[in-house]
Chain A
């Protein structure tokens, strides 16, 4: 039996979950403003390659991270121009972005495939790290992980307690109504989409520099797509981003631990890796289905759910 209470296991779950948290937070902002960006996968992978390449060349991790964010933001800007300024279809543009980002990652990362680089060390937090188990799991991590702990509540606060937050939510709910009150709908959407791209780039940088410490083509293994689903699971709430992300972080890690587990009658010789690999996508679909049923209730719909204007073209 897998040692489910093993702190080391949970330590790696936190590390895996952090990867999901960062881009999910960004996409929540983009979608809250009404723009669906399906290009997460592309922005993440280009961010991962770009940041690793720059960090390797300059031997400066911080520069690498910043470059990853820049790449993510740049790609998102393309999406913003197409969908906000020119009112193009958001789904098509987003998928195009993924293809572009994946291509770009091959180019950026070409020189550093398989090259080793010392990534980011963990920085244990004094005092907190000494809490039994919890300290080991949560407070002996690297700076990215702490950043995700801090960012989620900050972004929640901004969204719900500040003026810019209510503007973002208004724009995503009803752009005409917002515009009629003098809100610059386009500007707010641009900012949110670009911020979303930078967060995706940051997630990519974490993937290659903070978590797995290498770069190879296609290393995201489609995790960027999961982020799209996580936004739904999070109910477009930055704090909710944690719930889904940790769940999927768990699947991500446990699929390796369960490989040698035998289940009587079904898999007497151990669960085949192919089945375990299916866990994240299958559970995503399950989750979305359950969520979909709950959210489709009229009464619930008027309280929570997708921003009303999400992915709808807006022409004043």
Chain B
């Protein structure tokens, strides 16, 4: 097969605090005509940097398109040469306050703006590519993560490019949406398009991609032909293990040891909670849940069924229409103290030892502050007095950076300079180490905590959650990743259209049952 795109000896260096980061160090990469090519690597390996080089010149190196050297110094040039990209960082790619149609500028032409024509084109393209129902008149900020991701993919495809680059397009999609996406990519491939896809879901690479390139520390370590490798692997699991080993450079453990534990005492309770979304529709319909110490309560559900709003209402990010959120304190004179935290300020809530890993990282990070400052956002007030105790902060943050393997030259680099996955590590590191007040155990609310993390780190974060559980934490794990929920949770509540369809314990919860309930079946229907 003919090679359509070739990158030769590409280098890209970033400078942060006097330290050079060789994000791409003499990288060679080739894309063949009509192939789906997976690009794998740990967080910070340089995957996004590599593909971004096609839209802004790399520091050095050559880019060949169909054998001819080209200079792609800006997105316009790339667009003209038939390249399109769906980016990883949607905040730099979609305009929140504009509608879907207003975001897709590349198909507008002439002086007057005919939004209705663009809207029609978008709707027909959505149908053609089977990217689901999205109203082109909706403002981006009203869309769920998965919907935004589909808009971003559409934005790339609608220019009818020859070379399609997708940077972690599946991180927020549901399993059926992922299957749909790959069947779409398949049909695009048969039309002769060439596709690069970056992903942390290794099974996607094995099952759908023709070739796999693995990056580590800014360099390409291997390019594999999937078919050939598959013959050598006894199972998909072995393939995943092999790829993970290539990415990390050493064996990655894949077993999660969830010790059997008796549920501890009731620590938090949601009673009949109702709340609305930004558009004013009631999306949480009388949810009641209990969190117990030493337990992980999984909330399964296709994203957009009210999980996000439920959490936001619990934590005062959103107004509670009715219902209560109660925190059970320790027993004094045999009577347990119950605190109603509904409508309390975020600080009061957090001071009770409630940690939160939000799905949207922008809610948890201040991008322009340093990693160190972001790591102490929860705890700086504890140092007391007017000044911040620099020495202890330095020690604490250095420790977190090394435990969580946050890939950065210095604790003083801004969070903005981190790769997507490493930003997530900062949030997880800070929230899982939040110290609850005397006599209380941590309550952790985690929304898709492993979102955008590479395999090794995903494993690490999951182990962290289990460790916290053993230490007595009550964890509420909201995840659209069913595997994650099943592997970690002691009890699984399935949410559908703002209601809890039922709660299963870990013995009775199977992929099938939970899957059915995610689609709207009740517990009774599933058990029968």
Interface residue ranges, A against B (CB under 8 Å): 161-167, 169-170, 173-174, 176-184, 299, 302-303, 308, 316
Contact = CB atoms under 8 A, between A and B. Distances in A.
Given A302-B97, A303-B97, A162 B113 contact: yes
A163 B95 contact: no
B383 interface: no
A173 B105 contact: no
B97 A180 contact: no
A177 B94 contact: yes
A180 B152 CA distance: 11
Interface in B63-79: 74-76, 79
B20 to A, nearest CB: 18
Contacts of A299: 278
Looking at chain B's contact residues, is the secondary structure mostly helix, strand, loop, or mixed? loop
Contacts of B109: 163
B93 A180 contact: yes
Given A166-B102, A180-B93, A181-B105, 18 more contacts: A161-B113, A163-B108, A166-B113, A169-B98, A169-B102, A170-B98, A170-B105, A173-B95, A174-B96, A176-B93, A180-B55, A180-B75, A181-B75, A181-B79, A182-B79, A182-B105, A302-B97, A308-B97
B112 A182 contact: no
Closest 3 CB pairs of A and B: A176-B92, A182-B76, A174-B95
B96 A308 contact: yes
Nearest to A307: B97
B387 interface: no
A82 B68 CA distance: 38
Contacts of B112: 161-163
Nearest to A309: B95
B111 A302 contact: no
B79 A173 contact: no
A188 B75 CA distance: 16
Contact of A180 (B92, B108, B110, B141): B92
B127 interface: no
B98 A179 contact: no
Contact of A182 (B56, B75, B102, B113): B75
A165 B103 CA distance: 13
A257 B95 CA distance: 48
Nearest to B104: A181
Contacts of A180: 55, 75, 85, 87, 92-93
Given A170-B95, A302-B141, A182 B278 contact: no
A183 B95 CA distance: 13
Contacts of A303: 97
A180 B84 CA distance: 9
Contacts of B155: 181
Given A161-B113, A162-B113, A302 B102 contact: no
Contacts of A302: 96-97, 139, 141, 278
Given A169-B98, A180-B93, A181-B155, A162 B111 contact: yes
B111 A173 contact: no
A32 to B, nearest CB: 12
A163 B96 CA distance: 19
A169 B56 CA distance: 24
Contacts of B95: 170, 173-174, 177-178, 308
Contact of B106 (A176, A179, A181): A181
Contacts of B103: 177
Contact of A179 (B74, B102, B108): B74
A179 B75 contact: yes
B126 to A, nearest CB: 18
Contacts of B110: 163
B92 A177 contact: yes
A165 B110 CA distance: 12
B330 to A, nearest CB: 35
8 contacts: A161-B112, A162-B112, A176-B93, A179-B75, A182-B75, A182-B105, A308-B96, A308-B97
Interface in B99-144: 102-103, 105-106, 108-113, 139, 141
A125 to B, nearest CB: 29
Contacts of A174: 92, 94-96
A183 B96 CA distance: 17
B320 to A, nearest CB: 15
A166 B98 CA distance: 9
